[in-house]
Amino acid sequence: MSSTPEIERHPLRPFLPENAQLLMLGSFPPPKERWCMEFFYPNPQNDMWRIMGQIFFGDKTHFEVQKVFNRDKIVSFCETKGIAIFDTAQAVIRLQGNAADEHLEIVEQTDIAALLQQIPLCHNICCTGGKAAQTLAETLHCVLPKVGESVETSFAGRTIRFWRMPSSSRAYPLSLDKKAAAYRRMFETIGML
């Protein structure tokens, strides 16, 4: 007897500070048991907040307290810097019990145009993984940039620069320093660093 796969809806609301200049998009959060906080990139095995700490504060542990991420510090940083965050999927089926790209089947894509309406200063979108980048390229009807590079396109009545960044997952075979260097180049180009 086969069971119907469970459709999982996104557990978080989009984080959209009014001053956002950059929208960061992943694919979908990991299962709740892997979270250490109620925010994006909540798995302590994901290095996104270490990358940000390294770039902006010269300290990869800047957002950590006893190996757990400090949500309030991260939210304050994103609000101050103008970083909006969500994911390219609103609903998925997990083919296995994780958030690995190859094990996610997207059932409902995020309405990217609706997100952009709420952040009028945003002209840069970065994807933080392969599935997110492929999904966004389909949405924007543009070519998929190489990892660490960007393309310019027109979408939802504005010019958008679409950045494809290395995944912050430790499963992605690149050192934290090299990932941080790629993200640093993006922030410098945008003028946020």
4 contacts 108 by C-beta, under 8 angstroms: no
Rounded alpha-carbon distances, angstroms, from residue 14 to 42, 114, 188: 14, 11, 25
Helix locations, the chain, DSSP H:
48-57, 71-81, 112-117, 130-140, 176-190
pTM of the full structure:
0.93
**pLDDT value of position 97:** 65
Residue 26 lies in a domain: yes
Q: For residue range 26-65, what is the model confidence (pLDDT) as tens digits?
A: 999 998 999 999 999 999 999 999 999 999 999 999 999 9
- pLDDT category, 5, cuts 50, 70, 90? confident
**Within a domain: 2:** no
CATH number of the domain that residue 186 is part of: 3.40.470.10
Q: Where residue 174 falls among pLDDT bands split at 50, 70, 90?
A: very high
Domain boundaries, position 13: 7-190
Give how many domains the chain has, as a whole number.
1
Spatial contact of 113 and 155, defined as CB atoms under 8 Å apart: yes
111: in domain? yes
